[in-house]
Amino acid sequence: MRIPKHIGIIPDGNRRWALSNSLSKDKGYDHGINPGLEVFKLCQKENIQEVTFYGFTIDNTKRPSDQKIAFTKACIDSVMLLTKEDCEILVLGNTESSCFPKELLPFTKRKKFGSGGIKANFLINYGWEWDLNLLKNADISKKHIQPHLQSKDISRIDLIIRWGGRRRLSGLLPVQSVYSDFYILDNYWPDFKKEDFYDALSWYNEQDITLGG
């Protein structure tokens, strides 16, 4: 089986999951932490080199304060969980905003934990316009965009998996996702099961990778 080098994870459906379980919307995020750890361990097992988790965006911070507090805490807890694993963690996002959790500032340069290995990226207080904002003053060709991105240390994504049924990228790493294959799951992120992951890998294996050629 052809295995992607880099997988992007869009863990959507936390709020809808909460409502479907008679909970307030903010309660859904905490139930999305363990699925993230499960996905990480499956990526490790399958020798995937890099995984990126879409935590929250700058636009997400406009949500009600109880939700903002909940998803920020869930992101912090998710990063801290992976510090106990063998990996190399990078947190990427707008650190100049008060919405960026100060607890994650030490991770804005990639840090190795345990014996290292798989790269684990978290997009926290991320925005695609913020990611690209250095390009407007740069004299560059299309072939040399990457060094001028805020996300320059994140590689091209081979496969993006999105839970929750939405058919959109929501601004996820626009340069790295240009040629990504995009797999959609209708079930909500807190209901994650490992079959989701392996179904996505099987589907990816069947795709014709052309990179525009």
Structurally, how many domains does the chain consist of? 1
Using CB atoms within 10 Å of the CB of residue 56, give its burial: 0 to 12 exposed, 13 to 18 middle, 19+ buried. buried
Domain presence at residue 213? no
Residue 139: band (very low, low, confident or very high) from pLDDT cuts 50, 70, 90? low
Domain presence at residue 157? yes
pLDDT for 202 beyond 60: yes
**Token duo for residue 169:** 């990228």
Domain presence at residue 1? no
Average of pLDDT values for 14-39?
A: 98
pLDDT for 25 beyond 60: yes
Is residue 114 a contact partner of residue 88, using CB atoms and an 8 Å limit? no
Q: What is the pLDDT of residue 143?
A: 64
Domain presence at residue 57? yes
Q: What is the pLDDT of residue 142?
A: 61
pTM of the entire structure?
A: 0.94
Domain presence at residue 65? yes
Q: Which residue, among 10, 29, 9, has the nearest Cα to 19 in the 3D structure? A: 29
Domain presence at residue 210? no
